[in-house]
Chain A
Amino acid sequence: NAGVTQTPKFRVLKTGQSMTLLCAQDMNHEYMYWYRQDPGMGLRLIHYSVGEGTTAKGEVPDGYNVSRLKKQNFLLGLESAAPSQTSVYFCASSYPSGTNSPLHFGNGTRLTVT
């Protein structure tokens, strides 16, 4: 069972470059999320999706775009990378159930913007 898979694991960008981070889950989860984590800090929600074709802003959405064209995939895009976007990015997914469904996380993408 793969769970939540993030690609790539590492990436170095120059300021102004663009890239897309891919998140794939094989658990048939409806909800998917993108978080960023900076050194010594907790996770901050960037964007999330409650189903295929839907996205919504989280706590820190500026500078990022997302797409959920397929239920199993959630893409995070950086159109023009900035040094402030140097971080570790985590994707998560969950069921939308009547009880609180735990989040299942990937192992992250470490992004450095120079």
Chain B
Amino acid sequence: LAKTTQPISMDSYEGQEVNITCSHNNIATNDYITWYQQFPSQGPRFIIQGYKTKVTNEVASLFIPADRKSSTLSLPRVSLSDTAVYYCLVGDGRSYNTDKLIFGTGTRLQVFP
């Protein structure tokens, strides 16, 4: 099974950098790594996606080591509005294997003032 493992929860303070790591030991050659953010009473929304090394956008950075068995979502200088649940998903987009459409329990990030 293409299963991901993340910490259940993390706490941080405003202005700090937060790193959330996802383990995906069974990642396949064609798989990409995608991170989603979910606020209460809303559907998850796409944050960032990558295949290897480092990807950066206006919201976050994604670090992927050479063996691709894990990835780290980095949120620079978090604010209270970053309090949410973050999910890591591994898949190849063709979605024929439903194992790759399965979200784990995610990481609940709480940011304090």
In the complex, which residues 67-114 of chain A have their Cβ closer than 8 Å to any Cβ of chain B? 90, 92, 94-108
Interface string of A4-42 (1 = CB under 8 A from B): 100000000000000000000000000101010000111
Chain B residues in the interface with A (C-beta under 8 A): 31-32, 34, 36, 41-46, 49, 51, 87, 89, 91-96, 98, 101-106
Of the candidates B45, B51, B101, the one having the most CB atoms from chain A within 10 angstroms of its own CB is: B101
Asked if B43 contacts A96 (CB within 8 A), the reply is: no
List, in ascending order, chain A residues with CB within 8 A of B101's CB. 33, 45, 48, 58
- In this complex, how many residues of chain A approach chain B with their Cβ under 8 Å: the count is 33
Q: How long is the Cα–Cα vector from A35 to B49 in the complex, in angstroms?
A: 21
> From residue B55, how far is it (CB to closest CB) to chain A in Å?
12
Asked if A100 contacts B32 (CB within 8 A), the reply is: yes
Q: How long is the Cα–Cα vector from A70 to B47 in the complex, in angstroms?
A: 29
Is A59 located at the chain interface by the 8 A CB criterion? yes
List, in ascending order, chain B residues with CB within 8 A of A94's CB. 93, 95
